[in-house]
Amino acid sequence: MISFLSILLILSLHPSTSTQLCRPLPPITRPSSSLAVAALLPRGGGKAASNKSKLTSSPSTAATMPQSFLQTILAAKSHLAAAAAARALSIFGMYPIDTIKTRMQMRQGNAWRVEGLYSGVMGSLVGQVPYGVLTFGSYEIYKQSLLTRFPNVKPTFIYALSAILGDITGSGWLCPSEVMKQQLQAGIYGNMGEAVRGIWKKSGLRGFYQGFTGGLARDVPFRVAQLTTFEVTKSIYLRAKRSNNKDNDSIALSPLEAAICGAAAGSFSAAITNPLDRIKTLMMTDTTNAYGGSVVACASKILRDDGIGGLFAGVGPRVGYIAPSVCIFFVTYELVQQKMKKTE
């Protein structure tokens, strides 16, 4: 949920990071990375340079993609290391809220009970922290490729599509840990080892991707809503800021202001996509195929059993998770970065 915001903060707090990425690829004229630009939604736009060579114009280009991905990660390694620490702490700190949300969505009694609030936290960290690195690296690769292939398309759409594709790419890694995490949160298994053995024995590798389509059905609309809402929130805030500083036309969001806008956008997006999040939760924890194994079948059963209100079970904890997560991430990222600079 906070992977996009992680990318925003990395690129906005350290604008030079984005200019170092993907150097083997064709040169691209891009807007400079401020937080608003790094939010995948640039202020002034920008187009790919008129370079006739395409990324797929020769077999050697495809072969350089893994190398480009690694160079992307290496170019931002210090920022990604700080982001990984910040991401881990924010996930750990807010994990009880996520567990409460899962219990509510499964209609378990006494969702606020203290026992088991951290069940599955290690599986979540193992999935989420590498997922952040994977989405960041793949986002940059997709962005470079799409800007080169479609130089006349608005960068706004390219950046948004790149973010979505980055999420989809990362989902291949994230889904198994999400399945284990949610089944542990639900109390289906007692520990991670038991979960791994149980899922494998019951369904093999396929069991670790149970609810994968439900995850995508949630994540893609969430990302579209988040990107759109971030842009609207940012525009409203900047307009208000300029009205109080009429002599300064170059006003931009500070990293902290952008984090606040991002938190607001994320909270709103979390609320409107809660029905899809509940579907994803029920699909991942459905060990008896009671929900039909598909997004449509699961949604139909929720409506039959609980009505429209059932789609919004757990919406409070889901919305309440976002803003504190961003605050924890922001503060931790800055502290780790300062510590790393002192040791250099």
Query: Is the separation of the CB atoms in 134 and 187 below 8 Å?
Result: no
Q: Which residues are CB-neighbours of 251 under 8 A, at least 6 positions away?
A: 238, 241, 242, 245
Distance from C-alpha of 166 to C-alpha of 45, rounded to nearest angstrom: 21
C-beta separation of 129 from 87 below 8 A: yes
Tell me phi and psi for residue 258, to 5 degrees.
Answer: -70, -35
| Backbone Cα Rg of the chain | 21
pLDDT at 53: 37
Taking Cα atoms as reference points, which of 66, 87, 82 lies closest to residue 4? 87
- pLDDT tens digit sequence for 299-317: 999 999 999 999 999 999 9
Q: Among the listed ranges 41-50, 108-117, 258-267, 279-288, which one has the minimum average pLDDT value?
A: 41-50
Task: Give the rounded percent of residues in the chain with a pLDDT score beyond 70.
Answer: 79
Per-residue pLDDT tens over the stretch 118-133: 999 998 999 998 998 8
At 253 the pLDDT is 81
Q: In angstroms, how far is CA 112 from the centroid of its own chain?
A: 26
Distance CA 155, CA 138 (A): 17
Say if residue 61's pLDDT is above 80. Answer: no
Confidence of residue 23 (pLDDT cuts 50, 70, 90): very low
pLDDT greater at residue 21 or residue 262: 262
| pLDDT single digits (tens) 191-206 | 999 999 999 999 999 9
Answer yes or no: is pLDDT of 28 > 60: no
DSSP state of 250: T
Q: What mean pLDDT comes out for the span 96-123?
A: 94
What's the confidence (pLDDT) of residue 251? 78
For 241, the token pair is 């800021």
pLDDT at 21: 43
Sequence-ordered strand ranges (E) for the chain: none
pLDDT of 43 > 90? The answer is: no
Place of tokens 């369904």: 203
Average pLDDT over residues 5-26: 50
Can you give the pLDDT at residue 1?
A: 60
Instruction: Please enumerate in sequence order all residues whose Cβ is within 8 A of that of 27, keeping only pairs 6 or more positions apart, or say none.
Output: 49, 51
- The string of pLDDT tens digits covering residues 166-198 is 989 999 999 999 999 999 999 999 999 999 999
Residue 34 scores a pLDDT above 70: no
- What is d(CA 214, CA 133) in angstroms, rounded to the nearest whole number? 22
Provide the whole-model pTM: 0.79
Q: Where are the alpha helices (DSSP H) in 244-314?
A: 255-272, 274-285, 295-306
The highest-confidence range among 48-57, 150-159, 284-293, by mean pLDDT, is 284-293
Of residues 15 and 336, the one with the higher pLDDT is: 336
In the prediction, which pLDDT does 10 show?
57
Check whether 146 has a pLDDT greater than 90.
Answer: yes
Confidence at residue 334, expressed as pLDDT on a 0 to 100 scale = 84
